[in-house]
């Protein structure tokens, strides 16, 4: 199963996590894909409910393009195009040269600590 971990970390926590990840990747052949956000607000502005719905649809219906996706979801093309662009920038969605979309991950795991010292 191919998965990505999304974390909400403070700047200090993100730096410590990066350092730890860097050390682990130089000593190991396995890596976990990760995205880090500085706040829940930032996370939820980039990974919205509509975008998660879009990701799920692409994961279940491989081989669609943006226009088909908008039609299948009953959404405005321009909004879907914006969502596809943002998700591709995050690496949560892939688009080939012909515009065919795919979801590279089977699972998204979100971690958000509740204490300032949680890493």
Stated pTM of the model: 0.77
Q: Is 7 in contact with 47 (CB distance < 8 Å)?
A: no
**Exposure string over 95-105, b if 16+ CB within 10 A, otherwise e:** beeeeebebeb
pLDDT given for residue 24 in this prediction:
55
The hierarchical CATH code for the domain 3-112 is 1.10.10.10
- The whole-number pLDDT of residue 118 equals 46
The pLDDT confidence band at residue 36, using thresholds 50, 70 and 90, is confident
CA atoms of 89 and 75, how far apart (whole Å): 21
């Amino acid at each position: 199963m191919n998965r990505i971990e999304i974390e909400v970390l403070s700047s200090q926590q993100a730096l410590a996590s990066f350092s730890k990840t860097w050390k682990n990747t130089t000593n190991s052949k396995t890596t976990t894909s990760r995205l880090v956000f500085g706040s829940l607000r930032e996370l939820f502005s980039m990974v919205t409910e509509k975008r998660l719905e879009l990701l799920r649809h692409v994961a279940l219906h491989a081989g669609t393009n943006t226009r088909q996706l908008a039609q299948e979801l009953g959404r405005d093309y321009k909004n879907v195009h914006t969502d596809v662009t943002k998700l591709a920038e995050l690496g949560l969605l892939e688009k080939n040269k012909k515009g065919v979309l795919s979801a590279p991950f089977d699972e998204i795991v979100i971690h958000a600590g509740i204490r300032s010292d949680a890493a």
